[in-house]
Every structure is written in C-alpha cells, then in structure tokens.
Amino acid sequence: MNANSGLLTGTLKYLRRPFECNVRPGHRVLVLSDTAHDPRVWQAVMTILADLDAEATLALFERRPADYYNPPAAVCEAMMKSDFNVLLASTGMLHCSANFDAMAAGIPAICMDGGMTLEMFQSGAVTDDMRQIAVRKYNVARKVFGRGARECRVTTPHGTDFTYGVADRITLPPLPPKDFDPYRIINFARDENRPGNNLLYYLFPTGEYNVAPIEGSANGKLVIDLTMHHIGRLGSPIELTVRDGRVTRIEGGADARILRDYLEAYGDENAYMCPAEASVGVNARAIVRGIQREDKNIYGSMHFGLGTNIDVGGSIKSRIHMDGVILAPTLHVDGELRIDNGRFPMSIEDDCDLDAAT
C-alpha cells in the first residue's frame, strides 16, 4: 500500500466542489483507484459521495503497467453501468479505451488521476480561480496564438530550439458567461469548440490551453527540463531530437534512459510522434510538485506530448501519451514574441470579448 496512507487531515473543500456540482442523490458513481495511489484520496471521495447520498462503489485494483492501460475487465464492464466514473488511479486513465467507450455512451468522467496525493487537493493548483482560468484560456488562444497562427518556435536556456506548425489548429474556447460554473462536467464539442471524440469529463486540477500541432511538422531539439509523465521530477534534462514530427534520438542522463526503456516496453510506432500536444499552462496557483498533473498547469510553462493526440484535436492514436514540462519557455508565433522566459508580455487576465472589440 502507498506510503501516504494515514489520517485524513486538512480541508476537503476543494475536493468536494466537482462532486457537489455534478453528483445528485441516487447517482451511481464508480470510483477507480489502485494500490499504488494515496488511499486517503479515495477514502475522502467515498465520504463526500456518501454525504451527497450517491450510490458509490470503489473499484480497487493493482497498478496498471503504464498510463492509458485499461483497468481490469470487470471494472471496464462496471464503467458502462454507472452515471459517473471517478478516475483516481496512479496511472492516467482518462484516455484509456474503456473510458473513451464510457464517454461515447454519455457517461462522464471526473478525472483526478496521475498519482496526486491528498495534500495536492488542499493547496496549489486546485485553489486557483477556476473561472479566471477559463478567461486565461480564451486570451491565450486569442492573444498568444491568434486564429491565423501558422508556425511556433520554442527556445530555452537548456538548449531547446524547436519549431512546429499550428495552421488551422488553434481553437477558441468561449469566454465564460455570467452563469458559468467552473466545476461542471465539460462537453468539449459544445463547451470548448473542440469537436469530435465524445469528450465528456471534468479534469481537476485544470489550467492548460491545448494545441495539437500539425502532424509531421516539427523539427529541432526539445529539452524537457522540469517533469515527465511516468518519471516525475527530472534529475537531469531529457533532450529529444525531432525530425518531421518524430523523435529520432533521446539523450541525457538517467531520466533519458528511463524514457527510452519505457517507450520501448510500452509504446508503439506512434508513441514517438512529437509533439502530439504543445500546450500552455495558465493556472496561477500551480506549483512544482514533481507530478506532471499539476506541473503542466504552471502559469507560463509549456508541455509537449508524445503519442496520442485525438483528444486535443489531432489525428494520432497510440497506446500511450506522455507529457514533458518546460518551466520557462520562450515562444515566438510567426516571428512575434508571445511568451518570454515563462512570462506573458501581454495581459491574459482581462474578461472582455476581443472579437467584438476588433
């Protein structure tokens, strides 16, 4: 059992909010967790669901060998008979085939997986103003990229010099209306102008603006310097050489070796496609945890994915998806400076309709 097992301490007010917003008395809620995850989280969630008079069931199983692997077959069957699936595993399950099947059937997920401890639901990213995050996402789409964006170049002091195409890949999520509830389940086709793939979930914590670059367009060196999916906080940077949208070389220290071995063991041909995702962090309260689920939301950071990207507007399907976080990137879009060493040169905080103003 996880070493974090112990007493439930601290506030649960942030953890309660997604459930209070979405779950009603009598709802059948399936909570998925594994023996490597902090058990205090599922214990707290089961208590919250009991308070809400939901019909809650816990499915506890051995840790999956890699992110995006399905839970055991019996759990997959149960996911299709619930009203909500709560993902609390130490591996990512939001994009596993069982959850895609459930979402396609209209069964939403509340996603809190990736190895987050109870303390991570009491401070940091979960405490930010969720409405303001929606405002920032709109402004990053409109101000940092713009609808006509074509090419991005990212550089860092660690040696990143990386270009990729984004023509026709910039989606514009709407500004939140006055009655906006930042904790409700999101239908991404309807609520965020991201059609396809039956995406129906609430991700907590949140705080990223997603872009799926044009497949095969990326070239250069991408140096992941903060955190990597599966590995955690990096002891040394991982250098990825990318040619025509595919990783051709992985260099660095011990962490680079771990990534090479992981991709060989659990990946497939499409696992080396890069970047499957190139996204910007917009959560002003996110802090460095050494877990990419929070680190990738850090304000002004960028993270880049390997593998699957059908969930963010691309066309790649893979057995896996892995995000690597760069803490302080410099981003140029079509030659214009848009992020400077992890800082936005323009405000992304204003809540106004820029389309109407132009």
pLDDT of residue 317: 86
pLDDT digits (tens, 9 = 90+) for 19-32: 999 999 999 999 99
Tell me if 219 sits within 8 A of 244, measured CB to CB: yes
pLDDT digits (tens, 9 = 90+) for 301-310: 999 999 978 7
Tell me if 255 sits within 8 A of 290, measured CB to CB: no
DSSP letter, residue 249: E
> What proportion of the chain, given as a percentage, has pLDDT over 90?
81
Q: pLDDT grade, residue 153 (50/70/90)?
A: very high
> What proportion of the chain, given as a percentage, has pLDDT over 70?
96
- At position 100, the amino acid (one-letter code) is F
Element (H, E) at 260: helix 254-266
Q: What is the mean pLDDT of the chain?
A: 93
Which of 125-134, 196-205, 256-265, 338-347 is predicted with the least confidence, judged by mean pLDDT? 196-205
The answer, yes or no, to whether residue 357 has pLDDT greater than 60, is no
The answer, yes or no, to whether residue 141 has pLDDT greater than 60, is yes
- At position 93, the amino acid (one-letter code) is M
Give me the mean pLDDT over the 102-130 stretch: 95
Query: What is the fold of 13-122?
Result: Rossmann fold (3.40.50)
Neighbouring CB atoms inside 10 A of 20's CB total 13
The answer, yes or no, to whether residue 195 has pLDDT greater than 90, is no
pLDDT digits (tens, 9 = 90+) for 218-237: 999 999 999 998 899 999 99
Rounded CA separation 239/72 (Å): 35
- At position 214, the amino acid (one-letter code) is I
3-state secondary structure the chain: CCCCCCCCCCCCHHHHHHHHHHCCCCCEEEEEEECCCCHHHHHHHHHHHHHCCCEEEEEEECCCCCCCCCCCHHHHHHHCCCCEEEECCCCCCCCCHHHHHHHHCCCCEEECCCCCCHHHHCCHHHHCCHHHHHHHHHHHHHHHHCCCCCEEEEECCCCCEEEEECCCCCCCCCCCCCCCCCCCCEEHHHHCCCCCCCCEEEECCCCEECCCCCCCCCEEEEEECCEECCCEECCCCEEEEEECCEEEEEEECHHHHHHHHHHHHHCCHHHHECCCEEEEECECCCCCCCCHHHHCCECCCEEEEEECCHHHCCCCCCCCEEEEEECCCEEEECCEEEEECCECCCCCCCCCCHHHHC
Q: Would you list the domain boundaries of the chain?
A: 13-122, 146-170+207-357
